[in-house]
Amino acid sequence: DAGITQSPRHKVTETGTPVTLRCHQTENHRYMYWYRQDPGHGLRLIHYSYGVKDTDKGEVSDGYSVSRSKTEDFLLTLESATSSQTSVYFCASSGTGVTQPQHFGDGTRLSIL
């Protein structure tokens, strides 16, 4: 499976603080994605990247920003965390080709108090 690691795996923080989640992949995949998973919602796309410095919004992008300065790293930032952003966050990557499956990391459980 694709080597994707997410850090941290768990984080508890307070409302209003900035939070950055990191995703690192070792497969040299061009595409990377950030999802959130909430009860009753499945996985929803936050942002994705189609190359270094090339990113675009997904379905639930409000309150989040991303950056990709290297092929292997994709950062998700919550500028000012809110309780509604308490969730499990998954990063994924895929190779070029519209039928390439996405490979996921093991997630970051984020709690905002």
Partner 1 sequence: DQQVKQNSPSLSVQEGRISILNCDYTNSMFDYFLWYKKYPAEGPTFLISISSIKDKNEDGRFTVFLNKSAKHLSLHIVPSQPGDSAVYFCAASQTGGSQGNLIFGKGTKLSVKP
Burial of 67: CB neighbours in 10 Å, binned 0-12, 13-18, 19+: middle
Centroid of chain to Cα 21: 7
Nearer residue to partner 1 within complex by CB, 40 or 53: 40
Minimum Å gap between C-beta 56 and partner 1 is 7
Give every CB contact of residue 3 below 8 A, 6+ residues apart in sequence. Answer: 25, 26, 27
Instruction: Decide: is 33 part of the binding site for partner 1 (CB under 8 A).
Output: yes
Minimum Å gap between C-beta 51 and partner 1 is 11
Which range in 12-20, 42-50, 66-74, 79-87 contacts partner 1 by CB under 8 A?
42-50
Over its C-alpha atoms, the chain yields an Rg (Å, rounded) of 13
Q: Where does this chain bind partner 1 (CB under 8 A)?
A: 1, 4, 31, 33, 40-45, 48, 50, 56, 58, 90, 92, 94, 96-107
